Amino acid sequence: MVTTQMKPIVFGAKGTRLSNAEAAFYAEHRPAGFIIFRRNVEDPDQLRALIAEMKRAADNPGALVLIDQEGGRVARLRPPHWREYPRGAEYGRLWRLDPTLAGEAAFLGGRLIAEDLQALGINVDCLPVLDVPVAGASNVIGDRAYGTDPAIVMALGRAAAEGLAEGGVIPIVKHIPGHGRAMADSHLELPIVDATRSMLRTHDFAPFRALNDLPLAMSAHVIYTAYDPAAPATTSPKVVQEVIRGEIGFRGLLVSDDLSMKALSGDYAGRRAASLAAGCDLVLHCNGEMAEMEPVAQGCPALDPAIAKRLDAMVAAARAGRKPIDRGQAEARLAELLAIGR
């Protein structure tokens, strides 16, 4: 169970086993969660053991354990131990042939991913991607998106989220309030979007508004000059309150994108403080570098009791909501759907 002694941070780890230094660090700072990357993965037994180590070190058996398992080029779990899943654009291709079947496929993709994650002790997937790319935008989103029409993105994003939830895994919508118009990759530099409020409301924000009832969202390290020309959404109180909480109406918990991305500036303590002050409920630090994790954790306030209760309820509801599945039947049906029009 998450407690108020936890800190509102989700940390990564450096390798496939915890070092003594990492275990001691987690024990001291007790992060609310962890995130898994490809560097942490060898095989199912090893990964289950690593996740168990993380939870023990933080004394948090109900910790959030996140992963980016979208399908396509963003997948931390890969063959031979796990199946490949389609990129978002593949579901969009099917939508153009038959929207109903595309929705079924996106649901099954999410449901099967959840089955993989549940078997490992992972309870959060950073999916669905609700960004809507525009012509000329950075390829950092590209074919990860379900399409370039907000209506398609919101429908397929909803289907994928429902598939995850039926498998007992919590979805995270990303990257709120929209990364599809960014002309730069926020991993490498700070994107600046000069679109008008009207354009953003009708295009970029629309999928997030349609899925504003989901429990978790990940922020975009993007400046929207129409709202705040000085700070990216993650560290902008104006964007978080006026746009994410206001115009979009998101009422779930807001998680920052990775604090180590180059779109953010300043020292790591400052990035964490600015993100929390802007209205993020949790901050994410992914790369496992102790020299960066220490300043993120040092001086960080404890997890707010109200947020702790919501996390507890979220994890319990996900576990209770899991429904059985005939995996073989689901895999066969997904393959059948994806073959349509090929």
* Catalytic machinery residues: 187, 257
Backbone angles phi, psi at 291, to 5 degrees: -65, -25
319 φ/ψ sector (left φ>0, alpha ψ -120 to 50, else beta): alpha
SS3 for 91?
helix
156, 102 Cβ separation under 8 angstroms: yes
Q: How far apart are CA 240 and CA 246, in angstroms?
A: 8
d(CA 51, CA 65): 8
Q: How many CB atoms lie within 10 A of CB 298?
A: 12
Pairing of strands 74-75, 69-71: antiparallel
Assess contact for 8 and 276: CB atoms under 8 A: yes
Query: What does the DSSP assignment read for 121-146?
Result: T--EE---B-----TT--TTTGGGSS
Closest among 256, 261, 248 to 203, alpha carbons compared? 248
* Cis amide bond preceding 80, omega within 30: yes
Question: Phi first, then psi: what are they for 153, rounded to 5°?
Answer: -60, -45
CA 257 to CA 62: how far, in whole Å?
A: 22
Separation of alpha carbons 311 and 152, rounded Å: 30
Q: Fill in the DSSP letter of residue 38.
A: G
